């Protein structure tokens, strides 16, 4: 039986006392081949979707949170705090509930997908909406965690990135070797940093013989790394990557350069197109931010990045049901009809 990432990879996540481990059995998410997507984009490459929406709180944040909250408990902490565009708060709330400690979450007002807010609330977190953006929220929780006995569980907490390495371990375990390219959305840039660290850790202990190129994608309206400047007012439909000043900026640049990869941007239209494509062609529903990985793959393919024969993994960072409003907005409306078979058949085109 799967035991959660800490117990599944004990060589990488050591605990002197197992009773401190707080897990909801995160990880072990499927690596789904996407042949119809590949057929459409480039039949000469293989695409795999690391579907992180199937974690306990439906995003990859659980991988880091199990470790961050376990370490907080190990050190005797009774409360955690985070700033969040949504998924970090959902995850922190759930793991704090599991641990029996308090969670305080500070979110930017009006920019949180409905499902994520519901999660933080139902798990019993104290939720504070600040009238500002994510970066404002982060500055506040950083200050509070410095002055009070409350553990910060944003990705500035090194245990978050440490736990998120497990995504790379699982991909190598599934494929038997690393992919040629690993594509993912970039917000605070913790995940691209973590995957690269995970691949390097597997390489260093001899479990894999080569390393992938990391390709990361920001939304054009929130592309500080691509443009080399802080965005004071980041804007994108992909709220999970609506970040103007990424916490792991330098580490992401390092991951890009060490791996021989790239970090580029995609437009909101390209993100929405990819979002519809992966759900309609593969039956895999992710949130808009996640689709930036596919939008980026499409853009780079068009620019001739691939020679043929490459294996590409796209991390789909969060589940589509977190953000039903966007799904409804980009889809065809249901047809309203009288309760008569003939009329329904008429709509069906028979």
What residues line the site for ligand PLP (CB under 6 A)? 59, 61, 87, 155, 185-191, 240-241, 287, 289-290, 317-318
Between 64 and 178, whose beta carbon lies closer to ligand PLP? 64
Q: How far is the CB of 188 from ligand PLP (least distance, A)?
A: 3
Between 78 and 142, whose beta carbon lies closer to ligand PLP? 142
Tokens 């995160």, located at residue: 26
For 112-135, give the secondary structure using H, E and C: CCHHHHHHHHHCCCEEEEECCCHH
Helix ranges (H only) for 12-165 are 35-41, 61-74, 87-99, 114-122, 134-147, 158-164
Q: How far is the CB of 314 from ligand PLP (least distance, A)?
A: 12
Between 42 and 188, whose beta carbon lies closer to ligand PLP? 188
By beta carbon distance, the residue nearest ligand PLP is 318
Q: How far is the CB of 293 from ligand PLP (least distance, A)?
A: 9
Q: Are 327 and 62 in contact (CB under 8 A)?
A: no
Write the Ramachandran bin of 189: left for phi over 0, alpha for psi from -120 to 50, otherwise beta: left
Q: How far is the CB of 235 from ligand PLP (least distance, A)?
A: 16
Write the Ramachandran bin of 87: left for phi over 0, alpha for psi from -120 to 50, otherwise beta: alpha
Q: Are 151 and 120 in contact (CB under 8 A)?
A: no
Residue 217 gets which letter from DSSP?
E
Between 156 and 310, whose beta carbon lies closer to ligand PLP? 156
Q: How far is the CB of 51 from ligand PLP (least distance, A)?
A: 12
Between 189 and 295, whose beta carbon lies closer to ligand PLP? 189
Q: Are 52 and 317 in contact (CB under 8 A)?
A: yes
Q: How far is the CB of 189 from ligand PLP (least distance, A)?
A: 5
Q: How far is the CB of 348 from ligand PLP (least distance, A)?
A: 35
Between 42 and 106, whose beta carbon lies closer to ligand PLP? 106
Sign of CA pseudo-dihedral 154, 159, 162, 166? negative
Q: How far is the CB of 283 from ligand PLP (least distance, A)?
A: 19
Q: Are 322 and 91 in contact (CB under 8 A)?
A: no
Total residues belonging to the chain: 350
End-to-end CA distance of the chain: 49
Compute the distance between CA of residue 316 and CA of residue 301 in angstroms, rounded to an integer. Answer: 18
β-strand pairing of 31-33 with 46-51: antiparallel
Tokens of 286: 């992710």
162: which residues sit within 8 A by CB, 6+ positions away?
Answer: 13, 64, 67, 194, 197
Q: How far is the CB of 28 from ligand PLP (least distance, A)?
A: 18
């Amino acid at each position: 039986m799967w035991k959660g990432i800490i117990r599944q990879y004990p060589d990488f996540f050591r605990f002197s006392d197992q009773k401190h481990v707080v897990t909801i059995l995160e990880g072990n998410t499927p690596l789904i081949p996407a042949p119809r997507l590949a057929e459409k984009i480039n039949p000469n490459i293989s695409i795999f979707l690391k579907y992180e929406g199937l974690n306990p709180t439906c995003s990859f944040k659980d991988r880091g949170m199990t470790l961050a909250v376990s370490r907080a408990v190990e050190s005797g902490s009774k409360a955690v705090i985070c700033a969040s565009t949504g998924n970090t708060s959902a995850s922190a709330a759930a793991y704090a509930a599991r641990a029996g400690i308090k969670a305080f979450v500070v979110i930017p007002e009006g920019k949180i997908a409905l499902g994520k807010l519901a999660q933080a609330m139902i798990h019993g977190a104290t939720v504070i909406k600040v009238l500002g953006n994510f970066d404002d929220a982060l500055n506040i929780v950083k200050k509070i965690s410095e002055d009070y006995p409350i553990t910060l569980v944003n990705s500035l907490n090194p245990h978050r990135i440490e736990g998120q390495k497990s995504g790379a371990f699982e991909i190598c375990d599934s494929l038997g070797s690393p992919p040629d390219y690993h594509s993912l959305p970039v917000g605070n840039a913790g995940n691209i940093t973590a995957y690269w660290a995970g691949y390097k850790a597997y390489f260093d202990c001899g479990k894999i013989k080569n390393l992938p190129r990391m390709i990361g994608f920001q939304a054009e309206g929130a592309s500080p790394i691509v443009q080399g400047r802080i965005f004071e007012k980041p804007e994108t439909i992909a709220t999970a990557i609506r970040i103007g000043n990424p916490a792991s900026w330098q580490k992401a640049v390092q991951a890009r350069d060490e791996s021989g990869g790239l970090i580029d941007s995609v437009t909101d239209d390209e993100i929405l197109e990819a979002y519809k494509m992966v759900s309609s062609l593969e039956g895999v529903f992710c949130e808009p931010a996640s689709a930036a990985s596919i939008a980026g793959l499409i853009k780079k393919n068009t620019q001739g990045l691939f020679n043929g024969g490459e294996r590409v993994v796209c991390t789909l960072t969060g589940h589509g049901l977190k953000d039903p409003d966007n799904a409804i907005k980009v889809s065809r409306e249901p047809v309203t009809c009288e309760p008569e078979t003939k009329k329904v058949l008429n709509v069906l085109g028979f």
